[in-house]
Amino acid sequence: MRSTIGKTVAAFAVLASSVSFAHAGDVEVLHWWTSGGEAAALNVLKQDLEKQGIGWQDMPVAGGGGTQAMTVLRARVTSGNAPTAVQMLGFDITDWAKEGALANLNDVASAEGWDDVVPGALQKFSKYDGQWVAAPVNVHSTNWVWANKAILDELGIAQPTTWDELVAAMQAVKDAGKVAVAHGGQAWQDATVFDAVAMATGGPEFYQKAFIDLDPDTLGSDTMKEAFDRMAVIRSFVDDNFSGRDWNLASAMVINGEAAFQFMGDWAKGEFLNAGKAPGEDFLCFRFPGTQDQVTFNSDQFALFKQGDTPSDEQAALAKAIMSPTFQSAFNVVKGSVPARVDVPDADFDACGKQGMKDLAAASSSGNLFGSMAHGHANPASIKNAMYDVITAHFNGEYDSETAVSELVSAVELAQ
Amino acid sequence: MGFLDIRNATKSYGAVKVLHETNIAVEEGEFLVLVGPSGCGKSTLLNMIAGLEEVTTGDIAIKGRSMNGVRPADRNIAMVFQSYALYPNMNVAQNMAFGLEMHGIPKPERDKAVAGVADLLQISHLLDRKPGQLSGGQRQRVAMGRALVRDPDVFLFDEPLSNLDAKLRVDMRTEIKKLHQKLGTTIVYVTHDQIEALTLSTRIAVMFGGHVQQLGTPKEIYDNPANMFVAGFMGSPSMNLFPAKVAVKDGAAVARIDLVDGGVASLPFAAGNAMATHDGRDIILGIRPEAITDEDGADRKSKAIHRIDARVEVTEPAGSDTFVVSNLGGKEVTGRFRADVDVKAGDVFPFAVNMEKAVAFDPKTEQRLG
Amino acid sequence: MATNASSQVVRTGAGARFVIYTLLAIFCLYYLLPLYVMVVNSLKPLSEIQAGGMMSLPREWTVAPWQSAWATAQIGVAATGLKPYFVNSILMVVPAVAISTVLGALNGYVLTKWRFRGDTIIFGLLLFGCFIPFQMVLIPMARMLGLMGLAGTVPGLVFVHLVYGIGFSTLYFRNYYQQFPTELVRAAMIDGAGFFTIFRRIMLPSSGPIAVVCIIWQFTNIWNDFLFGASFSDFDSQPMTVALNNLVQSSTGVKEYNVHFAGAIMAALPTLLVYIVAGRYFVRGLMAGSVKG
Amino acid sequence: MATTANTRAGNDWLRNALPKLVLSPSFAMVVIFVYGFILFTFYLSFTDSRILPSYGLVGWENYAKLFKLRAWGIAIDNLLIFGSLYIIICCLLGLALAILLDQKIRAEGFIRTIYLYPMALSFIVTGTAWKWFLDPGIGLQAVMHSWGWESFAFEWIKDRDMAIYTIVIAAVWQTSGFVMAMFLAGLRGIDNEVLKAAQIDGASNWALYRRIVIPQLRPAFMSAFVVLAHMAIKSYDLIIALTGGGPGTATELPATFMYSYTFTRNQMGIGAASATIMLMSIAAIMVPYIWSELREKK
C-alpha cells in the first residue's frame, strides 16, 4: 500500500513537473510565518536565493500553528502541484517521507557535512530511512518559564528550582492578589505545560517511555497520575478567564505585571523584547523547575518535495542556503530560537539566546534532548492530538486525574 | 381532403388516454370551435394542432402535408392564448414583430406588416407600450395582432376571451366574428362557453371525455343534439330532459309523462316522428325551454303545440322573458314564458309544448333515438 | 411596488408603533454591534486597544491601520498588504458568479419548461449536492483538479465554486421559472424561436429579481470562502480571504488588532456593497420565486 | 432526398436532445464531484488511510473507533443542541422581525439592510469581533462592570456547559436577517383580501397573524429550513473563529471533528467514517423533505 501511494505521488510529481512548473529556476515555498518578525527572518533566505538568481514564490497559509498549511499541502500534493519546499514540524516530515513524496538531499548533505553539525535528536526528523529529506532551520525549546522580575522581587521570591518552590512561589503571588500563571486555554498550550510538568515529574526516562515509546504501562502509571495532579495544581493558579486566550495575550499579562509566570516556549521572548523589556532586568527566563538539564524541543524544517527523480538545482541551493551558518544565525536572532546546527557562533544572540544554545549543546551531548510531545516531535499527529484531548479535558475539569490517566491510555491506543 | 385534417389522432400520457381517435376535416376559411367542459381534451387537441404536444397515434395535416414531427414554428400557424402570453419585456410592436423576426423577415417588411395589422385592430397608438401598461381588452387585441401579422394558414385560439369581463367579452366576440368574415381565415377556436361556440363558429365539435361527441353546424348541434351530453351542454338555460314512456295508438306515438300530482300527461309526438316504432319504451324526452311556453306565446307556425297542465314551482322573471319552473316526470322543467304572463308559484297553469322541437334519447346509452 | 403588503390591512395604534420602533431599534443594535466593534477599533492606535476598552470611541483617530492593511501589512514574506489579493479574488469571483448564474438559469429553464422523464430526480440530485460538507471533498477534488490540469489555477478555483454552487443557483431559478407562464414559452415556440432564443429573448429579460438573489448568494459564498481558496490556489492566485487569514492568524509577534479589523472590513467591503446596492431587490427577488411553494 | 431527410432527422434529434444536453454538464459535475466523492469517502471509511488516501481495507474498525471517541459523542450532541436552537431561534426571530418590519415602517429599506448585512460577512472577518465581545475580560461583561454594574456576569464562552449557546448567539446574528427577508417576502405575497375578510370576521391582529398569516408562510418556512439546516451542518468557520472547539472539546461539531481527524490528526479513515455518518444523517433529514417538496410541485 505504501508503494502504491508512493507511485501515485511520484506519478503526480512527474505530471506536475511537466504541467505546472513553468517558472523554472524559482522555488515555491509553503509556510506559515506571516508575522512581521518571522517574515523578516525568512526574507533573509529569500534575498540569499535571489542573489543566486533563484526566484522566491511565496505561498503563506497561516493558522493553527501550521495545521492549515498542512491541509493545503495535502490538497497540493494530491493535485500533483506540490510546492518546492514546505515548512514542516517533526512527525509530519516522517509521514510525508513515508508516502515517498520527499526529495533525497543526501548529495547536498554529505557535501556540506550536515551529519556532523546537526544534533542527533533533530536528525531523527530530518532524515528518513537514512536519507536527508528536510533542512532544519531552528530549534525551539519549549520548557521555559517566563517571569515578571518586578513581581518576584517585590514578593521576595527567588527563581524556583523545584516543583515545591514553584508551588510556593505561585501561592505567594496568588496571595498578593495577582495572577500566578498567565495561561491561554488552547489545547497546544495546555499540552506545552504538560510536557514540562511530565518531564519534571517523571524525569527523562519516563518522558521517553510515555511520549516517545508510547508504553501503555508508563502511560497508565502513578507517575502519570502525579503529573496530572500537578496540572490540576497549576490550573488552580490560572485566572478564570483563560479559555481560548492566545498565548501572546498571556505573555502580555506577564509583561504588564498582571501575572508572574508563563510556561511557554522560547518564541515568547519576542513578545517581551517587542514590548521593550530587557532579559534579566525586566523579565527572567529559566527552565521549568525540575527540567534544568533537559531540553524539550521542536524544530521548524523545510521539507523538499520531489519535483523529479533527483532534487532540482534550486532545491539543492535552497537547502544549502537554509543550512548556511550565516542564515541560521541571522534567522534565529530574529526568531528567538536557536540554530539547528551546533557550530554557529553565538555572538549575535542575547542572553536568553546564548543560554538556549548552550543548553541545547549540553542536552544534545548528554542525551537529554527530547522532542516535545506538545509540538509534534515525540509522536505522530494522531497520537499527539489524542493526548491533547485528554490533557485539555483534564485541565478544564472534565476528568479527575485518575480518569485522565485511563483515558490517556485508551486514547493513545485508539489513535494508533 | 380538407385544409386541416385531423386523422385518427389520439393522445396518451402513459396509460391514460386523454384523446380518443378523432377525425375532423376543416375546410379553408372555416371557423371550427372545439367546445366542452374542462378536461374534455379540447385544449390537448389544439396543442396537438399547434405542435406543442406530439400526436400519439394518427396524423394531423395542414394543406395536405403531414405535420408529424414538424416544429410549431414550421407549421405556419398562429395562436392566441388564454393569458395572451405577451412577452412582458417587449413593447407591443416588438411583440407583434417577434414571430416575423424569428422567421427571418427583414425589418422594413416587419414594420410594414405590424403597422398594417395595428391599423386593422386599431391599436396603432399602443405600439410603444409594454404589455404591463395595457388593459385586458387591449392585451387581447395585441395578442390577436401578433397572430394576424404572421398571416398563417391556420389561426388557433385557446379560450381567448375567458379573461375579459362580460361586456368586453361580447364586444370582442363580435369583433372576432367580423374579422373572420373580413379576412376569411381558417380558425380553430377552443372555448368552454357554448354561447361563444354557437355565435362564432361555422362548425362546432362538442367534446367530452376525450371523445368528439358531435361535429356539426351550430344549428345541427342545437336542434339535433347527438346525445344527452350535447343536449345538456349546448344552450342556456339548458335543454329540459325528463323521463317519459312511448305509447302508440293508431300509429301515432305519444309520450306519457308522470306528473307530481299523480296524474299522467300525454304529449303526442309530431307527425312523421320515428317514435311510432318504439311502443312501450322508456325514453328521456328533451325539450328546450323556448319550446315550452304559455299558450299565447307558442310558435304559431308549429303544427304540434300541445297543452299540459302542471303546477308552477318557481317563476324567474328575466326582463324580456319569464322562466317558469315546473316538474315533469320527476325532473325540473323550465319553460320560457312571455314577460307579462300572470303566473305565480303554486298555480296550476297550462303549458304549451312544441313537440316539433322535441327529441328523445335512450336512457341507457344516452344516444338520440330516431 | 404593486404588491400587497399585509401592512395595508393591519392597523396599529400609536402606542404599539412606539413599541415596534423600539424593538426594531434594539435589534439594529444587536446586528450592528460587531460591526461597530470592528470599525471603532480599526480607527484606534494599537496602544489604545491594548489599554482595553474595546467599546469606547478612539481618543485619537487614525486611518493608519487602514493604510497598513491595504498596502503595507505583512501577508507573507513580502509586506504587500491586501491589495494584490483583492485582484485575485475579483478574478475568481466574477467568472464564477457569472457562469454559475447563467448555468443555474439554463438548468432552471430546462427543468421547468422542457421537462422530460426523470428531470425531477436530476433536480433532487442537484439539490442534495448543496449539503455536502466541503471539508469532505477536499482531497478527491484536489486529485480531479490535478488530472484536469487545473490545479493551482484561477480557472480551477472557478470550477470548484461552480460545482458546489450550481445546486443553489438551479434551485433559485427553477422555483422562479416554475411561476413563469408556460404559455409565453409556447407562444415563442409558435413564433419560431428555438431553445436558446426563447431563453435569451423571453426568459432572461424577466429574470432580474431572481438573478439578484442568485448573484448575492453566490457572490457572498464564493468571496468569503477560505477552504477552497487556500487549498486550490497557487502562490499567485491566493484570494483575499487567505491573505486576510495570514494577516490575522500570524503565529507569533504582536497582534495588530487595529490592522486586523481594518483588513477584515476591507475584505468584507465588496460583499457589503453588493448587499447595500442590491439589497432592495433582494426581498423582491425572494418574493418573486424562491419562497413560494 | 435521402440526405435532406437525414439532416432533418439529425436536426430533430438535436432539438429534442438539446435541453438534456444543456442540463448534462451540471448533472455530470454533480454526479462526479458530489456523488462520486461521497462514494469515495464511503470507501475510504473502510480503509487504513491516514495522511493521504490509501486502500488497505480494515472493515468496520474506523467506525468502531469513531464511536469510542468521546469527542464524537460531544460533537453529535452539540449538533443536536446547536442545530435545533439555531433553526428555531432564527425562524422565530426572523418571523418576528419580518412582522414588525411589515407595519409600514419608515426607513424600512435601511433597517432591512442592517438586519441583512451579517450574511455578507464571513466569520473569518467577524470572528474576532465576536470573540472579543463575548470575552468576559474585555467584552460585554467588562463594559458593564466599567459602567458600574459590578454584578453583571456573562461568561458563557468560558463555561463548558454554556459555550455552545454563545455559538448559537453568533450564528443567529449571522443568518436571522436572511430568514427575516424570506419571511418578509412571504408576508408580502399574501393576498390582501383574505386578511380583510378575516378582519371583517372580527379577528384581532394577534389572531390574524396566528390563524391566517403564519399558516400561509409555510413555503417560506420550508425554504428557511433548508438554508438553515445546510448552514448548521456546515458550520465550521464559526466554531474555529469563536472557540476553536473549546473550552476543551465543549463546542466541537461534526464538521470540526471531521476536519480535525482528516487533516490535523492524520486519521483520514476515521475522518471519512465521521463524514459518512454525517452525510447519512443529512440524507435522513433532507431526502424526505426534498422528495415531498418535489412531489407536491408536480
Flag if C190 and B102 touch (Cβ within 8 Å).
Answer: no
* Residue C56 CB coordination number (10 Å): 14
Residue C106 has what pLDDT? 95
Query: In terms of residue numbers, what domain contains C39?
Result: 13-62
Residue in chain D nearest A101 by alpha carbon: D52
3-state SS, one letter per residue, for B272-297: CCHHHHCCCCEEEEEECHHHEECHHH
pLDDT (mean) for B256-277? 81
In whole angstroms, give the CA distance from residue A377 to residue A383. Answer: 11
Q: Report the chain C residue with the minimal C-alpha distance to residue B143.
A: C187
D55 touches chain A (CB under 8 A): yes
User: Do A55 and A184 lie in a common domain?
Assistant: no
| pLDDT higher than threshold 50 for residue A250 | yes
Residue D103 to residue C17, Cβ atoms within 8 A: yes
Q: Residues for chain C: how many in total?
A: 293
Mean pLDDT taken over chain A = 86
C-alpha cell at A17: 513537473
SS3 content of chain B, % helix, strand, coil (to 5): 30, 35, 35
Average pLDDT over every residue of B91-105 = 91
Does residue C109 fall inside a structural domain?
yes
pLDDT at C10: 62
Higher pLDDT, A404 or D225: A404
Over residues B40-53, the mean pLDDT reads 91
Chains C, A in contact, 3 or more Cβ pairs below 8 Å? yes
Indicate if C106 and C187 belong to the same structural domain. yes
- Sort out which chain C residues have CB atoms less than 8 A from A74's CB and list them: 138-139, 142
Looking at the predicted structure, is the pLDDT value of residue B21 above 90? yes
What pLDDT is stored for residue C1 in this prediction? 35
**Of B299-313, C135-149, D86-100, where does the model show the most confidence?**
D86-100
ipTM: 0.83
pLDDT given for residue A160 in this prediction: 92
Consecutive H or E run containing A60 = strand A55-60
* pLDDT band at residue C110 under the 50/70/90 scheme: very high
Say if C181 is an interface residue toward chain B (CB within 8 Å): yes
Any chains having at least 3 CB pairs less than 8 A from chain A are C, D
Q: Give the minimum alpha-carbon distance from D205 to chain C in angstroms, rounded to a whole number.
A: 7
Q: Is residue C175 part of a domain?
A: yes
In a domain, C145, yes or no: yes
Query: In Å, what is the CA distance from D50 to each residue of A1, A73, A95, A99, A415?
Result: 12, 14, 9, 10, 11
The string of pLDDT tens digits covering residues B130-155 is: 998 999 889 999 999 999 998 899 99
Name the nearest CA neighbour of D86 among D157, D161, D173: D173
Any chain D CB within 8 A of the CB of A288? Answer: no
Q: Does the pLDDT at position B124 exceed 70?
A: yes
C74 in any annotated domain: no
Q: pLDDT at position D32, please?
A: 92
Between positions 256 and 315 of B, the ones with CB within 8 A of C are none
- Each residue's pLDDT tens digit, A168-184: 999 999 999 999 999 98
C125 Cβ contact list (under 8 Å, min separation 6): D27, D30, D31, D34, D35
Distance between CA atoms of A169 and A175, rounded to whole angstroms? 10
> Does residue B127 carry a pLDDT above 90?
yes
Across the interface, do C220 and D19 touch by the CB < 8 Å criterion? no
Measure in Å the smallest separation between the Cα of A334 and chain C Cα atoms. Answer: 11
Distance CA C46, CA C51 (A): 9
Quote the domain boundaries for residue A261: 144-296+369-415
Q: How confident is the model over C50-67, as a mean pLDDT?
A: 81
Task: Annotate A132-183 with DSSP letters as a single string.
Answer: E-EEE-EEEE--EEEEEHHHHHHHT-----SHHHHHHHHHHHHHTTSEEE--
Q: What pLDDT is recorded for position C9? A: 56
Please report the pLDDT score of residue C252 as a whole number.
Answer: 62
> For residue A387, which residues of chain D lie inside 8 Å, CB to CB?
none
Is the model's pLDDT at C275 over the cut of 60?
A: yes
Quick check: C200 contacting B, CB < 8 Å?
A: no
Name the residue among A58, A62, A336 with its Cβ closest to that of C78: A58
Cell of A338: 536557536
Identify which of C189, C202, C205 has the shortest CB distance to residue B72.
C189
What pTM did the predictor assign?
A: 0.85
Are both C166 and C49 inside the same structural domain? no
DSSP A293: T
For residue A257, the domain's CATH number is 3.40.190.10
Inspect the interface and report whether the beta carbons of C291 and D296 lie closer than 8 Å.
Answer: no
Q: Which residues of D touch C166 (CB under 8 A)?
A: 26, 29-30
Record: contact A96-D137, CB cut-off 8 A: no
If one counts the domains in chain C, the total is: 2
Same domain, C195 and C230: yes
Q: Is B120 on the interface with C (CB under 8 A)?
A: no
* C-beta atoms of C116 and D20 within 8 A: yes
Residues in chain A with CB shorter than 8 Å from the CB of C151 are 16, 19-20, 76, 79-81
Mean pLDDT, residues A19-23: 39
The pLDDT score that the predictor gives to residue A9 is 45
Q: List all residues of chain D from 83 to 142 with a beta carbon under 8 Å from chain C.
A: 97, 100-105, 109, 111-122, 124-126, 128-130, 132-133, 138-139, 142
Do A163 and A281 sit in the same domain of this protein? yes
Average pLDDT of span A96-123: 89
Q: Model confidence over D214-267: pLDDT tens digits? A: 888 887 888 788 788 888 888 888 888 788 777 777 888 988 898 888 888 888
Domain boundaries, chain D: 69-297
Which residues, 6 or more positions from A113, have their beta carbon under 8 angstroms from its beta carbon?
none
Looking at chain D, the whole-number percentage of residues with pLDDT higher than 90 is 21
Q: What is the CATH number of domain D69-297?
A: 1.10.3720.10
User: Taking CB atoms and an 8 Å cutoff, what residues of chain C touch D19?
Assistant: 110, 114, 116, 195
Averaged pLDDT of chain B: 90
The b/e string for A105-120 (b: 16+ C-beta within 10 A; e otherwise) is: bbebbeebebeebbbe
C123/chain B closest Cα distance in angstroms:
22
Same domain, C48 and C101: no
Contact C279 D199 (CB under 8 A): no
Stretch A162-166: mean pLDDT, rounded? 94
Q: Do residue A254 and residue A383 come from a single domain?
A: yes
For B342-366, what is each residue's pLDDT tens digit?
Answer: 888 888 888 999 988 889 999 999 9
- Which residues of chain D have a CB within 8 Å of the CB of C24? 97, 100-101, 105, 111
Does position C282 have pLDDT exceeding 70, yes or no? yes
Residues in chain D: 298
Q: Do A36 and C254 touch (CB under 8 A)?
A: yes
Q: What pLDDT does residue A273 have?
A: 83
Tell whether D262 is within 8 A of chain C (Cβ): yes
pLDDT at C261 over 90: no
Residue A146 clears pLDDT 90, i.e. is over it: yes
State which amino acid sits at residue D292: S
Q: How far apart (Å, rounded) are the C-alpha atoms in residues B297 and B360?
A: 24
Residues A305 and A292 in one domain: no
pLDDT for C11: 64
- Residues D158, A186: C-beta atoms closer than 8 Å: no
Chains D and A touch (3+ CB pairs under 8 A): yes
Please give, rounded to a whole number of angstroms, the shortest distance from the CA of C39 to a CA of chain D. 10
**Subunits close to D (at least 3 CB pairs below 8 A):** A, C
* pLDDT reading at A99 higher than 90: no
Residue B370, amino acid: G
**Residues C265, C42: contact at Cβ < 8 Å?**
yes
Coil, strand or helix at D52? coil
Q: Give the 3-state secondary structure percentages of chain C, helix then strand then coil, rounded to 5.
A: 75, 0, 25
CB atoms C6 and D190 under 8 Å: yes
Q: Helix and strand tally (H, E) in chain C?
A: 13, 0
Pairwise CA distance, residues B87 & C190, whole Å: 13
Range B4-233: architecture per CATH: 3-Layer(aba) Sandwich (3.40)
Residues A276-313 have pLDDT tens digits of: 888 888 999 899 999 988 999 989 999 999 887 778 88
C-alpha grid cell, residue B69: 414531427
Give the CB-side neighbour count of residue C146, counting CA atoms within 13 A: 27
C-beta atoms of C187 and B72 within 8 A: no
Q: Is D146 on the interface with C (CB under 8 A)?
A: yes
Is A381 in Cβ contact with D264 (below 8 Å)? yes
Would you tell me which CATH number, out of the four given (2.40.50.140, 1.10.3210.10, 2.60.40.420, 3.40.50.2300), belongs to the domain B240-361? 2.40.50.140
pLDDT > 70: percent of chain A: 94
Q: How many Cβ pairs closer than 8 A exist between chain C and D?
A: 284
CB of B13 within 8 Å of a chain C CB? The answer is no
CA distances from B29 to A357, B49, B72, B153, B193 (A): 108, 16, 21, 10, 22
Instruction: Among D68, D263, D266, select the one facing A380 at the smallest CB separation.
Output: D266
C280 lies in the same domain as C171: yes
Asked if D125 and C265 come within 8 Å (Cβ–Cβ), the reply is yes
Q: How many CA atoms lie within 13 A of A282 on its CB side?
A: 13
Of B46, B54, B71, B87, which to mutate for an interface test with C (greatest number of C Cβ within 10 Å)? B87
Average pLDDT over residues B283-299: 89
Is pLDDT above 90 for B211?
A: yes
CB contact under 8 A, D124 and C116: no
Please give the backbone phi and psi of residue A336, each rounded to the nearest 5 degrees, phi first. Answer: 95, -5
pLDDT for the residue C290: 45
The full set of domain ranges for chain B reads: 4-233, 240-361
Indicate whether C31 and C104 sit together in one domain.
no
Closest residue of chain D to C10, computed from CA coordinates = D205
How many domains in chain A?
A: 2
CA distance D190 to chain C (A): 7
- Of the candidates C123, C137, C268, which has its C-beta nearest D125's C-beta? C268
Do A244 and D266 count as a contact with CB atoms less than 8 A apart? no
